[in-house]
Amino acid sequence: MTRASGSLKYPARVMLVAAMNPCPCGYYGDRSRPCVCTVTQIRRYRAKLSGPLLDRLDIHLDVPPVPVRELRAELPSAEGSAAIRARVVAARDRQRRRYRSDGFYTNAQLKPRQVKRYCGLDQHA
Ligand SMILES: [Zn+2]
């Protein structure tokens, strides 16, 4: 953190996940209900988020609403916690092996130079 009075380093690694409605009423772009906001209201609402804050969010996604009946539906094929845990443990193990000689052990610790080295995208990606 840098301010006029100086600079501080905190020992923390943060992943910020944030969400907001697309407009004050929450239905802009929704196919099930019409948005009742004016263009001015939407602009004013979105302007509450400052540019510097938005610049620090790396990924912005529009996520369509999920109907309540789908949220409540039973998902017979849903993966259980034990299976998910096994996948996470396997992924962490792959990362630990991949970065063994780099002195760190997770994807979250990659610096930009290492992202270029390990995360190259082919044409399909
Ligand atoms: Zn609206």
Check whether residue 57 and residue 90 sit in a common domain. no
Higher-pLDDT residue of 50 and 22 is 22
Q: How far is the CA of 29 from the centre of ligand 1 (A)?
A: 8
Residue 72 lies in a domain: no
In this predicted model, what pLDDT tens digit does every residue of 11-30 receive, in sequence order?
A: 887 888 999 999 999 999 88
Check whether residue 58 and residue 103 sit in a common domain. no
Q: How far is the CA of 77 from the centre of ligand 1 (A)?
A: 35
Q: How far is the CA of 52 from the centre of ligand 1 (A)?
A: 25
The residue segments making up the domain with residue 60 are 13-66
Lowest mean pLDDT among 9-13, 83-87, 92-96, 108-112: 9-13
Mean pLDDT value across residues 102-120: 90
The whole-angstrom separation of Cα 92 and Cα 88 is: 6
Check whether residue 86 and residue 110 sit in a common domain. yes
Comparing CA positions, the residue from 91, 86, 116, 84 lying closest to residue 105 is 91
In this predicted model, what pLDDT tens digit does every residue of 70-90 receive, in sequence order?
A: 888 877 777 889 999 999 999
Check whether residue 87 and residue 125 sit in a common domain. yes
Check whether residue 51 and residue 85 sit in a common domain. no
Residue 4 lies in a domain: no
Q: Work out the mean pLDDT of the chain and round it to a whole number.
A: 89
Question: Is residue 8's pLDDT more than 70?
Answer: yes
Q: How far is the CA of 11 from the centre of ligand 1 (A)?
A: 40
Q: How far is the CA of 63 from the centre of ligand 1 (A)?
A: 15
Check whether residue 62 and residue 84 sit in a common domain. no
Q: Are 31 and 22 in contact (CB under 8 A)?
A: no
The whole-angstrom separation of Cα 27 and Cα 42 is: 11
How many domains would you assign to the chain? Answer: 2
pTM: predicted TM-score of the whole model, two decimal places = 0.54
Residue 49 lies in a domain: yes
Mean pLDDT value across residues 113-120: 89
Residue 69: φ, ψ to 5°: -60, -30
Q: How far is the CA of 22 from the centre of ligand 1 (A)?
A: 7
Q: Which tokens go with 83?
A: 């299976």
Check whether residue 89 and residue 59 sit in a common domain. no
